Every structure is written in C-alpha cells, then in structure tokens.
Structure 1
Amino acid sequence: MGSDQNSLNVRFCEICAGFLSKNGKDSVPSLTKVLDTIADDLARSGDLRIRMGSENPSIWLSLQQLWDFLAEYPSADADVAELRVLVISVARFTRNIVAGVAVNQQNAFGVEPALRRVLHLYSSWSAFQVTDSFPATRMAVQALSNIVTTNEDLTSRLWSTYLTLPEERAILIRLLGSPDHKIILSLLVLMVNCIHDSTERRSLLTKSRGGARICVTLLDRMVLLYDAEESTDGAKAFDYGYHLFAHLFDGGFAPDLYNSLSVEGEVIAQHQTTLLKLLDSYLQSSQTCPVHCDMCPMLSEIFLSLSSYSQSAIKRAINPINSEPNLDSSIEHLQELDLLLPKSCEALVLATQCIVKISLLSEDQRTMDPSAVELRAIFRDACSTDELLRLLDAFLPRIYFGKPVLNPATDQSIPSSVAGANGFSYLKRDLVRLVGVLCHRDKTFQDRIRVCGGIPVIMNMCVVDERNPYLREHAILALRNLLDSNKENQDEVNSIQPSGYWDEAGMLREKVGATLR
C-alpha cells in the first residue's frame, strides 16, 4: 500500500509539473481528470488524506504552484471556460485533501493568498453576470473553509486578515453580493465556523470597522433571503445567517453590534431595525435568562430614545405651532408629519417586544430561583408609556371592523396617509402589554402609572382596534395588574364614572352634562 501511495504522489507531482511546463489550456483536460479521480478517492478515505499529505514526494509545492498559476492566469477572466474547469478541479482537490487533517490544513494554508486572488476575480460584478462561473466560486469558497475549519490558529489568522482588508479587497463583502444562493450558503458556513466559540473573533466582527461593513452587507442580504422558499438554498442561507447573529447575541455582543450600525444624525438606522428583528426572533425562541442581562441597558436606551423622538414628532404633527399636544386638533393641524416617525415606531415595537420577553424570562427565572437577577427593574425608569399612549390615541384612529373611528372634534377621519402608514401597527398593543408586565406585583410601578395619569389611558385602550390585535385583552390584563393589591389604584378606577357611550360605529360619544376626567 505504501508503494501505491508513493505512486499516487508521484503521479500527482508529475502531472502538475507537465501542465505547468506547457502552460497551455490544451493540457487542462488531462490535469483535471487526474485531479478529479484523486479527489474522489480522498473524499472516501481519511487515511488516504493523511498518507498523501505526509509521504514523499510532497504534493504541497505542486499544489502551491497550481494555485499561483490560477491566480496569475495570463488572460484571467471568469468567462474563460477552461479556467473555470481548472479552478473547480484544483479547489475540489484542495477541499478534500485538507478535510479534518490538521497537518494538511497547515501545509495548504500557504495557498490562501493565491486562493484569495482567485476569489477576488470570481466575486467581481462581471463574474456575477456569468452564471457558469458560480460552481467554480462555490468550490473555491468550500476549499477555503476546509483549510481553516476546526483549526484555531489558522482560523484566527484568516479572520484577522479578512476583516482588515482594504475595501476594494474585502472578499467577504464581495462574495456576499453574489446572486447565487449556494455561494452565499457556502460563505456563511465558513463565517459561522470562524466565529464559533471564539470571543475574540466575534468581538472583531462587531467592533472593527471591517466587521461593521460585513454586518451591514449581511443584514441587507438577510432581508433579501427572508422570503426564500422553505428547503431552498436561499432559506438555508438565511438560517445560517441567523445562526451567525445568534452566536453574537449568545456572546453578549448585541450592544456593540447595534452601536456599530448607527448612522450619525439618525434616530434609528435601517440596519439597526433589521438587527432588532433578528434579536426579537432570537429572544422569542429563547428559554434562558442570564445571557440577556447585558442587553437590558441597550434596550432601555433604545426605548427611551425612540419613545422621546416619537412623542416629539407626534406633538409637532398634532400642533405644529407650539409643539404642545392638542388632543382635539382638527385634521388641518396634521401638517408636520415626520417622515421618520413610522420607522421610529416600527423599531419601538421591536424594542418593546424584546423588553417584554426578557421581563417575562426574568420573572420565570426568579420563580425558580429567588436569588436570580430581577431584570424588570432595569427597564422601569426608561419605560414610561402613558404619555406616548395618550398621544398615539389622539394621532392614530382605531380601526373598528374595517372602518377608522372618527375624530369626535371634527367628525372626520384621520387621513389615510396616516391611518394606513406602515410602522404604527401593534404599537399601542405592545406598549399596553409592557405596562402590564412591568406593573405585575410591583406597587412602585403601579403607583407611578397612577400618579402620572396613566390609568385612564389604559382604560381607554380596552377597545377593538384592527391595527392592534388583542389590544383590548392586553389592556384588561394591564388594568388587572395595576389594581392588584393596590387600594389607591382601585379607588382611582372607582372614581371614574362613564362620561360617554359607544355608538354603532364604535365611536365613544360624550354624554350630555357629563364631566370628563
């Protein structure tokens, strides 16, 4: 068997030397035939990979020369069929010879610069227009992945290099722009493997300038992959992208990543909103609590910032002259609608849902372990919702059985451009739900809601609103939690007498002679 192995190494070295000496595309078929045959054998036998990588004559110099030839091909172009075939064969051989063999990975790592140049060629805009080039790109990415996977030293060296490349040479960003979902999937497998169980490499991805650019590109890609059909390569690529961000969340890097995505002068950047969507999904699927402690200050800050911005924008829309809320404003006063308000409210919904989930997880954790950290307390100072709810109730009409509820002061509905704007859905419902969660068995927060006049606001949410499914149910639960073991709040509710009635259109009409509170 040893002599057979020696013959295999000799054959490989001879065929490579013959090809390189001729330096012509006419000898490509004979070279690729040998490489493909050996690659098939390597894929089936781990022992063969070890022996071929360690015995003489050594194959590594010949392999290096092949990659150098590909990287310096005289007429390098992704549209050259012979070059594409050769890239596939050499990359496939490289992928298989290094799989799971640390010594082979170490020996093969020397081809990385040449392999990177090949990937640079195949990640150009012109290459992405040639669909026949996609198999070569995929195989090259898989070869690169196998060279470093499970090898900590090589993975760290590769990751550090790729995250500090100049923008025009940033291979990961270029490859993320590929229209081929299989290429994206292969690349994300490599990236997930690189950051797995490594605090240092995750930190580099979330805090470095190059890492932030990669994350921005990946978040854009995630948006495009979201609607991919189940079980397709696009759906698998989305799952791997999600797992990559889940690794970052697990490691406590959500705040660093959120800050790195900020845009100066904007209350919320689109990529930050996308990140909040992934974070919300991550939390909804989570059953553990301690790992989320470091997210609480970030979410509190996001909630406070977005809430303050939204309140200010709504006040300007309701009364643009002095920015003081006028809850009975006519439609003509809606003159200064902030175009960023829907985006702010969309992100506010996501932040609120994250806060609610962490609060519930915290409460469950404390039920099992009373010594566990009370995470709800971190949110209480930031999450003042009564004023925002009051403004939203004036600004946005309730949708009652498909019809907007009329403004009682004008008998007119809010314009459809406002009533149907994206970004406002679920906002009132989730804010009410947040109040219900934070005031549960917490007299301090219950009293705070009463003192700031929030109880009538919550009572006014006990209505049907198609823009806010289950708003009434959440409001009733919040009211129940506000009254639980709190006599002052109970007296407050008892003192509120009905001042109106609901007509057939779902509009609350004022009773004659009633006193409004």
Structure 2
Amino acid sequence: MRNTCADVPENQWIASEIQVHTIVNDILLDLIDWRNHAGEESERKDATQAIDMGMQALSNMCTSNTLVQSSIWQFFVRESQLLSLFLLFADPASVKYALVWIHNCTLNNSLQCKDFVDNITGSEAIASILDVFANESGTQTDNFELSYSCIKNLLISDLAPAIWTSLEQIENGGMSSVHVALLKALDGMVNGSAQLNVSLPNTSKLISGILVSTTKKLQTLLSTPEPQLDSSIQHICTFVVLVLQYLGVASQISTEAEISSWVDDGLAKSLITLLHGVSKLQPIFVDKSSSPSHDIKSNIFFMIRCDIMKVIANITYTSQQAQNEIRMCDGIPLVLSNCVIDDLNPYLREYALFAVRNLTKNNRENQMLIASLEARKVVPNEILTEMGVEAAIDPVTGKLTFK
C-alpha cells in the first residue's frame, strides 16, 4: 500500500474510496499497543518497523492530492486518536513520518489547519509537535525542520489564539515549555529570512494581551524592596523578549484600529511598566574595559530595552491614542531617559529618539510636555536638537515655546 499510492493519484483515489485508511488506522493502533507492551526488544523493533511503514502509507495516500487529503484528514482529526498516540509514543527516528504527513495536509490549507487545531486529537498532537520543536532546537535535524514547518502552517493561518487556548487546557498554565516553543516558532516566522509580510490580527491581539498579563506577573515579583534576579524572573524575561520581538514586527504592519485595540487592552501602559522593571533590574550599562571578560549577548537583558522602545516607536507612529496613553502613564520622561548609549542595547539611543519623534508627531500636548521638561533641564537640549525640534524662550511672554 505504501508503494502503490506513492505519486499515483488514481491509486490514492481508489484507496480513499474503499476506506483503506480506516483499516490502516486500526492496524496501527493495535501495533502501537503491542509495541508499548512488548517484552522483547526484537518484538518492539518489528512493531516499530511496521508502524513506520503504515505511517508512510497514510502519508503517500495524501501527497499532492488535496481532495483525498480532505477526506482522510477529517477522519484522523475528528474520529481517530492515531496521530496524538503516535507522536506521544513514537521513537524519535519515526516521528518524521507523521510530521511529513501533517505538513502535507496543512500546507496552504487553512480549513484543514483549523480542523486540526479545533479537535482534541489535533490539540494533543500539536503539543507533541511543539515538544519535538523545543527538544530538537538548535540541532537542525529533519525533525526540527519538519516540526517548525508544521507549526508555521498553523500560525500563518492566524490560529495562534486557538493553539494557545488548547495548550493552556493541556499544560494547565500559560508559561510552560510548549508555550515558549510556540513563541519561538512565531519569532522564527516573523524574524527569519522571509519576514512576516501578512497581517495576523488575531495572533497580534493575543500576543499583546500576553505581554500585558506577563508584565503584571513581573511587576508582582518586583514589588519587593530589593528584587533578586531569580529563576522565576529570568523565565518571565525570556518569555517577554519573545513577545516583544513579535510585536516589534507586527506593530509595523498592523492597522491603526488594531493598534488601538492593543492600547485599549493596556499595551502602552504595560510597555512603560516593563521599562521601569527592566531599569530596576538592569541599569544602563556601559562597558569601559578595553577587553570585556564576558559575553554581553548572553546577558538575559541583551536588547530588551531596544525591543521595548521599538514597539513604543511603532505604535505611536500612527496612533494618537498610543501617544496620549504613553503621556498619561508618565512614560515620556522615561522614554527620554533612554536616549543614551547602552552596551547591552545597541541602537537604544536611536530607537528612543525615534520614539520621541513619533510621540510628538501632531500631538501638541506631548510637544509641550517635552518642552516643559527641557525648561526644567529634565531633558538635555541636544536631544531635542537631534529630534529636529527647538525649544526657546518667547521674548514677549517669557514662556518656553516648542517649534
């Protein structure tokens, strides 16, 4: 059956019509049970070989045949537990056969992606795929590449919120290793060689909300007089960096209405709260040694200020609501204080200046606030000069003006 259906549409059709896949399903479930209870290594080896051939047969039945795919795929995500059981118990060398099958059935097919995510079998299988992705990360193995491709097929269909919800039900928490794996897959998708060029409004709304809730957790941990950088804070910071990197890209291509909805959910305020928290844990760092004895890039706070500032700059570029929200939560002085050189955050000064420019774009209240800060010497005049604006004393009224 495996060889008969390989690249032969007529045979794929016949196999589908006579429901061969249901027979293969029953055989494979029995083989998985046999292998899991086998006492002898030789028995487990024989069962594994037969299971692998069965998975290859199912994959070959669906390859390059979308109509056959739709029929067979519905059966396996709605009626069978084969995929989730196989991924849960398969040997690492065997996982690739299921991953190839899943990839072929979800590639450029949003309906089949949604079917996969919306069913418990699919949800369990997705959690297993994310485990493979996390465990194989950095190895560049076939399993790593295939698991990433499967996850990407689902993410590009804007299904991250449904996946996130299903993972919370399975993992009983929102910051597990599979959640981190999902964020890493998103990061790879938006920051890879082929950067994100389509808007994913549901995903972006989810990620914005995750930043808000995660910032609240960090704020609670930092509420002690002298907070320590323990494992809990480090885990949250890793989580936050991945979220910020996604938002840094998404905020460039999202509409003003989408960004306003993020601000309504508390994003702007959370960004300022987060910037305060990072400042508390890691002050501005300038390495004055001629030969640094440590790797700056390994620091958990490497680039995090830049990531925060990039999102602030992007959301205030077109959204006056975001501009006003940053002002109302006393964020403008903090943004101005980051117009400095920081060795942990290359280009922080440039990102901060860009954020100041956008905060003042067509916003008189923000302009006057910055002008008043300069009058009190809160912000150096050279920063205003680099922004291309000028603060001066009116000779008639004696008041500071902002041009």
Shift of 1:305: 0.2
Give the structure 2 partner of residue 448 of structure 1: 325
- Change in CA separation of 1:440 and 1:187 when aligned onto 2, cut-off 3 Å: same
Bigger Cα Rg: 1
Give the structure 1 partner of residue 137 of structure 2: 226
- Change in CA separation of 1:470 and 1:128 when aligned onto 2, cut-off 3 Å: farther
- Change in CA separation of 1:123 and 1:199 when aligned onto 2, cut-off 3 Å: farther
Match of 2:78 among 141, 160, 164: 160
Give the structure 1 partner of residue 215 of structure 2: 307
Higher deviation after alignment, 153-162 or 124-133: 124-133
Give the structure 1 partner of residue 175 of structure 2: 268
For 1:468 and 1:179, the matched residues in 2 are separated by 39
For 2:136 and 2:37, the matched residues in 1 are separated by 21
Shift of 1:309: 1.2
Higher deviation after alignment, 264-273 or 243-252: 264-273
- Change in CA separation of 1:311 and 1:387 when aligned onto 2, cut-off 3 Å: same
Alpha carbons 1:428, 1:471 under 8 Å: kept: yes
Q: Does 1:397 align with 2:283?
A: yes
- Change in CA separation of 1:469 and 1:267 when aligned onto 2, cut-off 3 Å: farther
Higher deviation after alignment, 142-151 or 110-119: 110-119
> Percent identical across equivalent pairs?
22
For 1:221 and 1:470, the matched residues in 2 are separated by 35
Higher deviation after alignment, 428-437 or 443-452: 443-452
Alpha carbons 2:160, 2:203 under 8 Å: kept: yes
Q: Does 1:491 align with 2:371?
A: yes
> Counterparts in 2 of 1:43-62, with a 5 A limit?
none
Give the structure 2 partner of residue 58 of structure 1: none
Q: Does 1:173 align with 2:88?
A: yes
Partner of 1:340, secondary structure, is: helix
Shift of 1:122: 5.5
For 1:212 and 1:196, the matched residues in 2 are separated by 17
> Counterparts in 2 of 1:135-284, with a 5 A limit?
137-149=51-63, 150=65, 151=68, 152-162=70-80, 164=81, 170-175=85-90, 178-180=91-93, 183-196=94-107, 199=110, 201-229=112-140, 234=141, 236-262=142-168, 266-284=173-191
For 1:265 and 1:466, the matched residues in 2 are separated by 39
User: Could you say what the CA RMSD is over the residues aligned between the two structures, in angstroms?
Assistant: 3.6
- Change in CA separation of 1:129 and 1:490 when aligned onto 2, cut-off 3 Å: farther
Give the structure 1 partner of residue 349 of structure 2: 472
Alpha carbons 1:439, 1:481 under 8 Å: kept: yes
- Give the TM-score normalised by the residue count of structure 2: 0.75
Aligned length: 358
Write the letter of the residue equivalent to 1:161: E
Residue by residue over 1:161-214, the C-alpha shift from the partner in whole angstroms, topping out at 9 and shown as x without a partner, is 33x4698xx223222xx232xx33322111123334555543343233332222
Partner of 2:222, secondary structure, is: helix
- Change in CA separation of 1:249 and 1:124 when aligned onto 2, cut-off 3 Å: farther
Partner of 2:341, secondary structure, is: coil
Alpha carbons 2:116, 2:123 under 8 Å: kept: yes
Give the structure 2 partner of residue 360 of structure 1: 252
Shift of 1:240: 2.5
> Counterparts in 2 of 1:316-331, with a 5 A limit?
316=224, 319=225
- Change in CA separation of 1:119 and 1:298 when aligned onto 2, cut-off 3 Å: same
Greater RCO, CA 8 A, separation 6+: 2
Shift of 1:110: 5.5
Write the letter of the residue equivalent to 1:399: F
- Change in CA separation of 1:356 and 1:100 when aligned onto 2, cut-off 3 Å: farther
- Change in CA separation of 1:359 and 1:143 when aligned onto 2, cut-off 3 Å: same
Give the structure 1 partner of residue 385 of structure 2: none
Write the letter of the residue equivalent to 1:145: S
Shift of 1:388: 2.4
- Change in CA separation of 1:334 and 1:298 when aligned onto 2, cut-off 3 Å: closer
Give 5+ residue unaligned stretches, structure 1. Answer: 1-90, 320-332, 364-372, 404-415, 501-517
For 1:356 and 1:445, the matched residues in 2 are separated by 15
Q: Does 1:117 align with 2:23?
A: no
Partner of 1:277, secondary structure, is: helix
